[in-house]
Chain A
């Protein structure tokens, strides 16, 4: 049985880690989708809205806003990458 109000744990890297002030965050979501997660994070941390873009990875793959989140998924915020 799924409980959509249970907290989702999100990994943070780079500038998102600095904006949030932690390398992980736990959130409750009334609607467990990537889009809802981004909206909630932007409302909690308005500085996330100043980034060039903000992607989300679910289980180490880039996810669309429509993707459903399941408890136990490995979720990560991916700010603009700059390797190389």
Chain B
């Protein structure tokens, strides 16, 4: 199997992703990790709450993996996204990509996370001390 695409309610493992993509045809693995930041525009974040339309999110992530493989000489892609309540510093998303040479892995990994943020039906609520907001919902 070329792709390992998962939406998980449990903590993500970078090791699981890199182990999956490691391939003897490849000399490069690039990894993107999205983590929970402690503030947004100066407001202190207490935690994030992620919700997914899981079945469609998996399909959209699969489409991204396929588009990435069509553009770069990718051997394997792992994309794991967490849902539920995440504390500061926890991992929200891990993407790992293996390619024969490093340039393609950098570019392909950036493409994957950029696309994920555009099209995959996952929503993030920032919870502050004094309220909460669904990210990017309003102008």
Contacts and interface: CB of A to CB of B under 8 A. Distances in A.
Interface residues of B, number: 29
B118 A81 contact: yes
Contact of A60 (B56, B93, B113, B138): B56
B74 interface: no
B71 to A, nearest CB: 19
B56 A76 contact: yes
A83 B93 contact: yes
Contact of B81 (A13, A78, A79, A83): A83
A83 B59 contact: no
Interface residues of A, number: 20
Interface centre among A15, A61, A78 (most CB of B within 10 A): A15
B138 A84 contact: no
Nearest to B56: A60
Contact of B120 (A11, A13, A50, A83): A83
Point out which of B53, B59, B81, B117 has the most chain A C-beta atoms below 10 A from its C-beta.
Answer: B53
Nearest to A11: B53
Interface of A: 11, 13-15, 18, 50-52, 57, 60-62, 76, 78-84
